[in-house]
Amino acid sequence: MGIWKDYICFCRELGYDLKNSFVLFPKDLIVAHKLAYQDVLNRREQERRKKMQQEERRAKRLLKKYRNLYAWKDNRFAVVVPKDLLEIKEEGHTLHHCVATYTSRVADGTSIILFVRDLQSPDKPFYTMELQKNKIIQCRGYSNHVMTSEVQEFVKRYESRVLKKIREKNAA
């Protein structure tokens, strides 16, 4: 009975006609269940991929716009805007923190993810910063370590020289 119940749920999800006795009472329930289950998995995967592509397109447009607003450096560190969502995921993987789970928020514009880089190793992940409404929510290093005093001072300068100006411009 459990297999039939699962099968009916799959049929509903797939939009099959449950008034049709051929669908409702298949000749071989086990085979029908397996086929319906595979169809459900395929459909879900297609929807997941489509959602990811849409998010990637939205995020790329936003990140391109952010490049002119948020990129900044001093003589030791730089704030870098990621190129795409994959770069954000790679950052999280390399630094062993959860920024990869923020990609939907980046795509819908509720969070801005920026990379803090040491100019001596500009391509190497160092710290990851999250902004919301042009305020720094967090800035984390490897395994979510808090900022060193040097990075903290840099982030304070970034806040006053870049983010403050953006907030003032948006308020005007």
The span from the first CA to the last CA of the chain, in angstroms, equals: 65
Q: Give the pair of three-digit tokens for residue 42.
A: 């395929």
34 CB contacts (<8 Å, ≥6 apart)?
none
pLDDT in tens, 65-103: 999 999 999 999 999 999 999 999 999 999 999 999 999
pLDDT in tens, 29-67: 999 999 999 999 999 999 999 998 999 999 999 999 999
One-letter amino acid for residue 75 of the chain? N
Structure letter (DSSP) for residue 109:
T
Considering the entire predicted model, what is its pTM? 0.79
Q: What whole-number distance in Å separates Cα of residue 59 and Cα of residue 20?
A: 44
